[in-house]
Amino acid sequence: MSHDQRSAFVRGASLSMGWADASKSLTDLIFEGVSSALAASAVEMEQIDSVVLSAHDLIDGRSLSSMVTAPAAGAYLRDEIRLAEDGLVALSLATARIAAGESRLSVVAAWGRASEADFLNTSRASMDPFMLKPLGLSEFDVSAFRLSKWLSKYPGKEADRNRAAETRRHRASRNPRTVASPALSFPLNFPLRDAEQPRWADIVVAAVVGCEDAPVRVAGVGHSTDQTMIGDRDFLDMPALRAAASTACDDAGIVLNQIDLFEIDGLMLSDEVITLEALGLCRPGEGFDTYARSTTINPSGGAGAGWCYPAMGLVRFAECYLQLTGAAGAVQSKSRARTALAIGASPIGSQTQTAVVLEAE
C-alpha cells in the first residue's frame, strides 16, 4: 500500500453511547462528543476549517435540525455541510474534501438519540405510501425477509445462531462503550428474535481527520447503491455491499483477505451475519458460525453494544480506529490489527452501502 499526496489521516475519534439522560439536551451531547474528539486528537477548534455531519431530521425530532445541531458540532462561521445519510458517508465526504485540497482539518460527526426518536414510525414513513405502507412494513420487516430467505436456504443452523447471539452479547458486555441500561425493544415479526435486536442507544460519534500524517490513514473508500424496490433486491448476495467493499479495497491497494479486522453494520444480528457472508468472509450458510468463532469480526459486539440510525457507519469506523490504535479497551483484539474495514448502510434495508479501509502505521 502506498501513500499518495491526497491521503486523509485520522487524528482522533470519540464514541459516546448512553440512554435517556434527562439532564442533557441533544446539543449538549453533540458538544460533548465533538469536544471529546478534539481532545483525543490534541486539536483546538480554532484549527478546524470544515465540519461534515450526518443526522436525520425525523430522528432529531425537528425539521432542518442542523440549524441547532451544527453550531454545537463547531460549525460557527465555518465551512459546514449536513448529510441526511449514514455517518460513514460523512467521513467519506470529509476525506474527499481533504483530497480535493478544500480542507486541511475537518470534524466529522453523526448522532441519533434512540430514547427520544420514534425509529419504528420513522422507518414506516420511509415506505412507499401505496404499496408498502398499508402493510405496516418497517426496517425490521426487511430484516425479517432477509433472514427468512437465509433460513430457507440454509436450514438446521439453530445452534450456530444461538452461539452467535451469545458471542455478540458477551463481547458487547465487555465493550466499555456499550450503553449501560437499554430500556427499549420493538415487537418483532417471525423469524426475528429479541436476543438478536440491537441495543438501542443515544449515540454521538465524532472524529477529526486531516491531511497531515497521523498513525491511522483512511486508505480506501467505496460506495454503491442497491435496487430501489425491496422485492427487486438480492438479500443474500448484496451487490451494492460487495461493490462498495471492492472499490474501497482497490482504492487501498489491498485484497479483502489481507484485512485484519472488520466492523460491520446491521440492524439485527442476522443482518450483520448475512453481510459478512456477502462480503465473502466465510462460505454462504456459515455466517452465524463464523460470527461466533471469529475474533476479528465485530469484536466490539456490533449492534449489540448500541445502535441508532444514522450514526452507525461512523460508530463502526470509530471502533476500527480504536482497535488500530490499541485503545479499544477490554475488547481490544489480541493480535494488534494493522488494517480494518468499516461498513455503513443506509435505510431502506441497506439500499446504499459505504466501505472504508483504515490502515495503521
Please report whether residue 101 would count as binding other proteins according to CB under 8 A. Answer: yes
Decide whether 27 or 148 has the Cβ nearer to other proteins.
Answer: 27
User: What is the four-CA torsion angle of 284, 290, 296, 300, rounded to 10 degrees?
Assistant: 110
Start-to-end Cα distance in the chain: 11
Nearer to other proteins, 273 or 314 (CB): 314
Cα→Cα distances 67→70, 80, 96, 103, 139, Å: 6, 11, 24, 22, 28
Contacts of 337 (CB under 8 A, 6+ apart): 260, 261, 296, 323, 324, 360
Query: Using CB under 8 A, which of 43, 81, 151, 195 touches other proteins?
Result: 81
H runs (alpha helix) in 118-215: 119-124, 139-153, 158-174
- Length of the chain as a residue count: 361
- Which residue is associated with the grid cell 489491498? 254
Residue 348 is classified by DSSP as T
Does 93 contact other proteins by CB under 8 A? Answer: yes
CB of 126 to other proteins, least distance (A): 4
| 79 contacts other proteins (rule: CB under 8 A) | yes
Map the footprint of other proteins across residues 218-257, applying CB under 8 A: 221, 223-229, 239-240, 243-244
Based on CB atoms, which residue is closest to other proteins, 99 or 188?
Answer: 99
How far CA 10 is from CA of 91, 210, 324, in Å, comes to 10, 7, 11
Residue closer to other proteins, measured from CB, 177 or 233: 233
What is the closest distance, in whole angstroms, from the C-beta atom of residue 96 to other proteins in the complex?
4
Q: Which of 70, 137, 205, 303 binds other proteins (CB under 8 A)?
A: 70
Which of these ranges, 121-129, 140-148, 201-209, 331-339, lies near other proteins under the rule CB under 8 A? 121-129
Shortest Å distance, C-beta 272 to other proteins: 22
Chain positions 27 to 56 lying near other proteins, rule: CB under 8 A, are: 51
CB of 117 to other proteins, least distance (A): 12
Q: How far is the CB of 147 from other proteins (least distance, A)?
A: 22
To other proteins, the closest distance from the beta carbon of 283 in angstroms equals 26
Task: Report the candidate in 196, 85, 84 with the shortest Cα–Cα distance to residue 140.
Answer: 196
Residue 129 as a binder of other proteins (CB under 8 A): the answer is yes
Peptide bond into 191 cis (omega under 30): yes
Nearest residue to 301 (alpha-carbon basis) of 222, 197, 220, 206: 197
Instruction: Pick the closest to residue 169 from 275, 23, 29, 291 (CA basis).
Output: 291
Instruction: List Cβ neighbours of 101 (8 Å cut-off, separation of 6 or more).
Output: none
The correct pick among 1, 125, 183, 255 for binding other proteins (CB under 8 A) is: 125
Q: Work out how close the CB of 246 gets to other proteins at its nearest, in angstroms, rounded to a whole number.
A: 12
Out of 35, 36, 47, 126, the only residue in the binding site for other proteins (CB under 8 A) is: 126
- C-alpha cell of residue 12: 482522533
In the complex, the smallest distance separating the C-beta of residue 329 from other proteins, rounded to whole angstroms, is: 32
Based on the shown chain and the rule CB under 8 A, indicate whether residue 76 belongs to the binding site for other proteins: yes
* Binding region for other proteins (CB under 8 A): 6, 51, 57-58, 62-64, 66-68, 70-71, 75-85, 89, 93, 95-97, 99-102, 122-123, 125-126, 128-129, 221, 223-229, 239-240, 243-244, 346-348, 351-352
